[in-house]
Amino acid sequence: MLEKIRIVLVNTYHPGNIGSAARAMKVMGLDRLYLVSPNQFPHEDANTMAAGAEDILDKIVLCETLEDAVGDCEHVIATSARPRSHQVPAMTPPECALFAHQTPAAEEVAIVFGRERSGLTTEEYELCNKHVFIPANPDYSILNMASAVQIIAYELYQKSLTHFEPVKKEMERPSAKEMKFFLQRMEERLDDAGYFKGKPKDVTLGKLRAYFQRSLPEKAELSLLQGILTRLESEEDWQRRQQIK
Binding region for a copy of itself (CB under 8 A): 20, 23-24, 26-29, 51-53, 81-83, 85-86, 90, 92-93, 134-137, 140-144, 146-147, 150-151, 154, 157-158, 161, 164, 166-169, 171, 190, 193-195, 204, 207-208, 211-212, 214-218, 220-221, 224, 227-228, 231-233, 237-238, 241
The length of the chain, given as a count of residues? 245
Please say which residue, 61 or 216, places its beta carbon nearer to a copy of itself. Answer: 216
41-80 core/surface letters (b: 16 or more CB in 10 A; e: else): bebebbbebbeebeebbeebeebeebeebbeebebbbbbb
Minimum CB–partner distance for residue 114 and a copy of itself (Å): 16
Minimum CB–partner distance for residue 196 and a copy of itself (Å): 10
Minimum CB–partner distance for residue 48 and a copy of itself (Å): 11
Q: Are 90 and 57 in contact (CB under 8 A)?
A: no
Minimum CB–partner distance for residue 8 and a copy of itself (Å): 19
Q: Is 223 helix (H, G, I), strand (E, B) or coil?
A: helix
Q: In whole angstroms, give the CA distance from residue 99 to residue 156.
A: 10
